[in-house]
Structure 1
Amino acid sequence: MKHHVTVGIDGSLESRAAAMWGAREASLREVPLRLVHAVEWPMSPAIPRLGRESADRWADEALTEASEDVRRRYPGLEITIRCLSGRPAAALAAEATDAGLLVLGSRGLGGLVGFFVGSVGMSTLAATETPVALVRPPREAGDTEPAGYGEIVVGVDIHEAADKVLSFAFEEAARRKCALRAVHGWKLPPAYEYIPFFDPDNERDIGRSVTQMLDDMLKPWRDKFPSVRADSQAFMGPAGSRLVQASVGADLVIVGRHLRRSPLGTHLGPVAHAVLHHATAPVAVIAHD
């Protein structure tokens, strides 16, 4: 069975944007699109003060409206809708088990500030190993889908295994026939803070070494995806802020997160946290060991 793309729908403008973005992704992947809504009973924050019958009817209407919007834009796309019962994060995570990608909407904080990642989004990230994309609604009411695809930006940690993150990034760039930019931020070893007269040549040497390590990490993926123009960017400083800057005009920003198999929840490092909350482009979070 082909992996489908699943989108969480709650009737909001954010989820409608996620549905349209997910449809575009499903069309690129040539897989079905599944729109789902979870009705939490006896109480759902999304639909307060409604009885069970009214809640189910509201969910059906939200799913139907979203699917009709998508069908008008993508008439040839196979679309199914499902109404689930249970806590939204757990239901979405269970639904994403056999999906290739889970797409959720996130509310913008205004202007170019970025995402507000709510409790459902964070809890869903913690509960699934499926890649999760978070999508904002258009910045302006009249915004439409771009005719082509922009650059894809991926954050890479050269000190960790990044195969899952890079595989996702190169596959996405190959589907879109667009450029890929791999970003890595580095800092001087702590010992250098105690050297009274630091030789700038040492900094340049470290920078060249880091750049070479990043290129070495990218080489097998460049060989595997020769059609993808993959540029690398290693710099001294925090990677999170550079990725947020690079998100302006990007088609997608990709970051990794560590799997945490404990009751403490998802582990988001400072880079992923900054990107999730402040990037202006859609963000894909890839779980890895």
Structure 2
Amino acid sequence: MTEKIVVGVTEAPVTRRAVDWAVRRAAHRGQQVELVSVVGGAIGAVGESSVMATVLDAHRHMLEAEVARAASSGVHITTRVVAGNPVNVLVEESANAALLVIGSDYRGPGSGPARGAHGIRVVAASHCPVVVVPDIDIHDRTGVLVGVDGSPVSEGAIRFAAAEADRLGEPLIAVCVWTPVTAPRNAAMVYPELYLANMQRTAEENLALSLAGLRAQYPDLVIDERAVKGYPAAVINALAADAKLAVIGTRGRSAVARFLLGSISHEVLQRVATVTVITR
């Protein structure tokens, strides 16, 4: 597997946070970083070539400034400026990357959705895990949060999260969210205590099975297991608001649905609360 981290670079202020995150991880793991800036909008109009030349040159200078800013890290950083469709270019780049890092200008509740359609499509179609970095200061936060549901996709997320928590010296917060069967709003529904207790117990057992073996693999890792009643996306983002990193899995890519995310991962990214990794 390649050890290259690809970062999608734009003029947005959050780009600095995305580049910094990628460079720190690369420095710690001995990886390389490639900064990619995509210039879209070209249609081949008469006189467009001179405009594109000027714009491409401006993007090169932008990337050079980022390389200079990260020079003290010691990380090997390369740059690429590409003319094309941003989604397609970044998805193609992800095929030869260990991680794809993109920024989000989301700044918390009240600031609008985390990503527009382009960002969601990049995450959904990527060949490698995608790291979404919001424009939020996470310096004083603790913990690596991972969503657990017992699926093979969840197992991949757990492996990634455990490795990151161990690398960062942070506790691993493993959360399994269970949701009672939904009744119509006008139904006078009272859930039996036995049903609720069994749902809680099932979630706790699911956590225990999913995390089995982690303590032997990472003997110094602190693992905080939480089985929580609620709606998954809401619970994950509420807990992620205090975490340094969140990791969730999404189903694989298919020819028909490769631009679609699972509902939970999509909703998490709409209100992304910390640096969030989407694995497969």
**Which range, TM-score by smaller chain?**
0.7 to 0.9
Distance in 2 separating the partners of 1:234 and 1:24: 32
Count residues with an aligned counterpart: 275
Comparing 113-122 and 128-137, the one that deviates more:
113-122
Residue of structure 2 in register with 1:69 after alignment: 69
1:203, distance to aligned residue in structure 2 (A): 1.8
List aligned pairs for 1:1-289, cutoff 5 A. Answer: 2-40=2-40, 42=42, 51-72=51-72, 74=73, 76-108=74-106, 116-138=114-136, 146=139, 150-159=142-151, 161-189=153-181, 199-287=192-280
Distance in 1 separating the partners of 2:272 and 2:112: 5
Residue identity over aligned pairs, in percent, reads 24
Distance in 2 separating the partners of 1:63 and 1:219: 44
Distance in 1 separating the partners of 2:201 and 2:13: 46
Structure 1 runs, 4 residues or longer, greater than 4 Å off: 109-115, 193-198
TM-score computed with the length of structure 2 as normaliser: 0.87
Using a 3 Å threshold, how does the CA distance of structure 1 residues 116 and 187 change in structure 2: closer, same or farther? Answer: closer
Using a 3 Å threshold, how does the CA distance of structure 1 residues 229 and 109 change in structure 2: closer, same or farther? Answer: closer
1:188, distance to aligned residue in structure 2 (A): 3.1
TM-score computed with the length of structure 1 as normaliser: 0.84
SS at match of 1:183: strand
CA RMSD between the two structures: 2.9
Native 8 Å contact 2:120 2:266 kept in 1: no
Distance in 2 separating the partners of 1:8 and 1:203: 45
Using a 3 Å threshold, how does the CA distance of structure 1 residues 266 and 221 change in structure 2: closer, same or farther? Answer: farther
1:163, distance to aligned residue in structure 2 (A): 2.2
1:281, distance to aligned residue in structure 2 (A): 0.6
Native 8 Å contact 2:177 2:203 kept in 1: no
Comparing 90-99 and 260-269, the one that deviates more:
260-269
Native 8 Å contact 2:39 2:56 kept in 1: yes
The residue type paired with residue 125 of structure 2 is: A
